[in-house]
Amino acid sequence: TGSTRPQRLLRAVQKKATQGDPQSVIATIDDFCRHSEWAMNVGDEKGLILDSIVSEVNPSTALELGTYCGYSTVRIARLLPPGGRCITLEFNPAYAAVARQVIAWAGIQDKVQLVEGPSGDLIPQMKELFGVQTFDFVFLDHWKDRYLPDAKLLEECGLLREGTVLLADNVICPGTPEYLQYVRNSPRYESRYFKSHLEYTKVEDGLEKSVFLG
Ligand SMILES: Oc1cc(-c2ccc(F)cc2)cc2nccnc12
Ligand SMILES: [Mg+2]
């Protein structure tokens, strides 16, 4: 009955990060993952690319698929304009429980709505549950075999608009070949690869930015 890695990550945040300071929460998690225990956060290197794209889009409504411990949720939410919000979906209740506390420690819980459940079931409910019209930005960072079906589901549910930006993590490692093939060949997307590395390692990975053309 020991602790889990997400619980140890949370303990490090509550011990070392300044409450209400998102940047210190981010730095604490990166330090924990680099020097104590690797964990599958988007990390500092890919995180800077995420930051630059979120800042460029300046989303009023952002969707994150795959919360894990809330690291990228904090990265995204800290950059939102006033009144902006991030809806984040997490399948694993234990991850969601840790993420809620990480997000609260960062002090940005008022900008975030964390929903537990399978993305395939929740995406069709976004309009009725949260009054979402369309998303300005979507960060795909959950199970790799869900990227393509969930992108198609977002299209079918009318949740994307001309200019919506989809940003996908891990397109090389672990890899999402079907999703990449789709967004790179579909006339409905303008896609670009941002080469980087798997979080906290020298292994190649990258982010794929795909603009929905309507
Ligand atoms: O960023 C990530 C990395 C990995 C991952 C795990 C083990 C490895 F060896 C390599 C990579 C899995 C992920 N699952 C969901 C969302 N993001 C992930
Ligand atoms: Mg990832």
What are the pLDDT digits (tens) for 135-179?
999 999 999 999 999 999 999 999 999 999 999 999 999 999 999
Tokens 């919506």: give the residue.
Answer: 164
User: Looking at the whole model, is its pTM more than 0.90?
Assistant: yes
Task: Please tell me which residue in 144, 150, 208, 209 is annotated as part of the active site.
Answer: 144
User: Ligand 1 pocket, 66 CB below 6 A?
Assistant: yes
158 lines ligand 1 (CB under 6 A): no
Task: Assess contact for 193 and 173: CB atoms under 8 A.
Answer: no
**For the CA of 143, the nearest ligand:** 1
Give this complex's ipTM: 0.99
- Give the DSSP letter of residue 70: S
Q: Please give the Cα distance from 152 to 154 (Å, whole number).
A: 5
pLDDT band, residue 190 (cuts 50/70/90): very high
pLDDT at 1: 76
Residue 5: is its pLDDT beyond 90?
A: yes
What is d(CA 163, CA 57) in angstroms, rounded to the nearest whole number? 9
Residue 15 is a catalytic residue: no
pLDDT digits 0-9 by tens, 29-81: 999 999 999 999 999 999 999 999 999 999 999 999 999 999 999 999 999 99
DSSP E strand stretches across the chain: 61-65, 85-90, 112-116, 135-140, 160-168, 189-197, 204-212
Q: Are residues 202 and 173 in contact, defined by beta-carbon separation less than 8 angstroms?
A: no
Q: Is 185 a catalytic residue?
A: no
Contact 196, 209 (CB under 8 A): no
Give the ligand 1 atom nearest the CA of 143.
15
Burial of 80 (0-12, 13-18, 19+ CB in 10 A): buried
Q: What's the average model confidence in pLDDT over 121-147?
A: 98
Residue 176 Cα to ligand 2 midpoint, Å, equals 11
